[in-house]
Structure 1
Amino acid sequence: MRVHLVDGTYELFRYHFSPGNRDPEQGAARGVVHSMLQLIDDGATHVGVATDQVVESFRNQFWPGYKTGEGVPPELMAQFPLLEQALASAGFCVWPMVEHEADDALGAAARKAASHPDVEQVLICTPDKDLAQCVTTDGRVVQYDRRRQMLIDHDGVVDKFGVLPESIPDYLALVGDTADGFPGLPGWGARSTATVLSHYVHLEDIPDAVGQWEVGIRGSARLATTLAENRELAMLFRKVATIADDAPTFDRLEELAWAGPKAEFPELMGSMGGEHLVERAEKLKARVGQA
């Protein structure tokens, strides 16, 4: 059995800003429902979708510059409750996050699903670099970029970032993450960070004195000084970048099994201009029932 865990926030943003979206009020939510039905059509059987019902999270307590809902188009923000209702009525397991973020739900669900003996593989469906930290050595948890149809396993993370999955929070702490609103440390770029962390793995294992470094890179003295002077800040950024895998998701694996739309789905889709999705969902339900 394979489990698909989908970043609903990413999907909603993607459809909203798509050049083909001519309905800014409901088009993105309708597009995500279509996308999830396509996932079933492609063979998925167990699906969970995480959303950011509130953009702010517990991380805003740690770093005042952390991302907020400021600047997000109001017509897009207004579609989160609609999306969650639509996905639930379509028969999908949905996790709207308030204190946590959708990323946390994906990480928590991946850990829980991967521990189940019936699960062969968990696919975290998002290109978000934060989730690379959840990819496992044994291949049971991987990332999947559905738009590019690209599977990113343990070796793929190393190829892309130059560090192990477990070093991703340390990596982001040093290079920063503009999308999430924290800057990293001055001078620490992707290449230098990857070189140092590929050897030391975690921040606390990097010596303060450059003379103790066992890796040689350009500007190492300046980088070592910057880290030594800002180590506490770097550790804070790592805390912010670390997935909280205790976010509330599912209790039983059976909750993720798609069994078709609920009774209220046709009426809701009718109000959203998605009548064509009703017939598609029913056909998929019939096919799943015959499998």
Structure 2
Amino acid sequence: MIDGTFELFRCFHGAPRARTEDGREVGAARGFLFTMIKLLRRPDAGHVAVAFDAMAGRTRVDRENDASTLIRSQYLPATDVLRALGVAHWPILRAQADDALATAAARFAPLSEVERVIIATTDKDLLQCAGPKVEVWDRIRDRHTTMEEVQKRFGVRPALLPDLFALVGDPSDGMPGIPKWGLKAAGAVLARYGSIENIPLDAEQWDVPVRGAQGLVASLRTHHREAVLMRDLLRLRTDLLLPTTLDAVAWRGADRRALTELTAWMGGSEMLEKIPRWRSDPS
């Protein structure tokens, strides 16, 4: 399961600029093609899907050379890439790509025929999805994070990460956190009580040894409503209406004609020889 929004932004900032004969910028889309082919060459790429945030609308600043505009203008070519490659993709309009990835992981992991679900993203919000058969893969660092590693790193099980970051804050998500709460204290308290709502608002009732319990309780009592709200915002949805069947995301190969025509338009035809499987090829 791939975070397409991140991959397209990464390709825009990392791949060379390129234009078609009619002057359209396609450097990011072409870089996205190279990225997807590399991923499809992995031996475990039997089922693949890509989720995108809503990117097709106008941007607030709609100038020809504005970065956001240039990236968004390549969303449709990127989806053309996926169609030509035969890869399932989910454009998410009323939620976020993260929610689609979380939904897919929640639905696929319980299936007996699924050995492992890999979520390819650098967004640590997805770490809350880690489970017995779900891991998060940061391709940039080539780091696979399992549920055991989440527990070791943060002191709580993956499902409690939204509660944890609501208490300690998360600058990458614009979450300020609650004053006085640090990672060690929050991890210990949540490991004991299981959620923000279950934390006693009287330090005398705490049976977990944490330094400064009185101050932590006073801060939580003052900011309890904000903490719960932040936690709810950080929780990913797992109930999106997606075509999340194994058949829907099975990768059966690329469409030779469609991909040949697409690369003739935007470049990258040299990558055709690297396609590991064409749709007409026998399984």
Q: TM-score range by the shorter chain?
A: 0.7 to 0.9
Q: Does 1:15 align with 2:11?
A: yes
Query: How far did 1:41 drift?
Result: 1.0
TM-score in terms of structure 2 length? 0.86
Q: After superposition, where does 1:1-291 map in structure 2 within 5 Å?
A: 5-18=1-14, 20-23=15-18, 25-43=25-43, 44-54=45-55, 73-136=68-131, 139-262=132-255, 263-281=257-275, 284-286=276-278, 289-291=281-283
Query: How far did 1:237 drift?
Result: 0.8
For residues 193 and 273 of structure 1, do their structure 2 counterparts lie closer, same or farther at Cα, with a shift above 3 Å needed? same
For residues 276 and 202 of structure 1, do their structure 2 counterparts lie closer, same or farther at Cα, with a shift above 3 Å needed? same
What is the rounded CA distance, in whole Å, between the counterparts of 1:248 and 1:93 in structure 2? Answer: 15
Percent of aligned pairs with the same residue? 36
For residues 80 and 188 of structure 1, do their structure 2 counterparts lie closer, same or farther at Cα, with a shift above 3 Å needed? farther
Residues 252, 278 of structure 2: 8 Å contact kept: no
Residues 56, 75 of structure 2: 8 Å contact kept: no
SS in 2 for 1:264: helix
Query: How far did 1:124 drift?
Result: 1.0
Residues 84, 96 of structure 1: 8 Å contact kept: no
Query: How far did 1:55 drift?
Result: 9.8
- Per the alignment, residue 22 of structure 2 pairs with none
Query: Greater shift after overlay, 168-177 or 215-224?
Result: 215-224
Query: How far did 1:23 drift?
Result: 4.1
Cα offsets for 1:176-196 (capped at 9, x unmatched)? 233333322223232332222
TM-score in terms of structure 1 length? 0.84
What is the rounded CA distance, in whole Å, between the counterparts of 1:111 and 1:161 in structure 2? Answer: 22
Unaligned runs of 5+ in 1: 57-67
Residues 166, 177 of structure 2: 8 Å contact kept: yes
User: In the alignment, residue 164 of structure 1 is paired with which amino acid?
Assistant: R
What is the rounded CA distance, in whole Å, between the counterparts of 1:99 and 1:190 in structure 2? Answer: 32
Query: How far did 1:265 drift?
Result: 2.1
SS in 1 for 2:156: coil
Query: How far did 1:245 drift?
Result: 0.6
Residues 124, 142 of structure 1: 8 Å contact kept: yes
Residues 53, 81 of structure 1: 8 Å contact kept: no
How many residue pairs get aligned? The number is 271
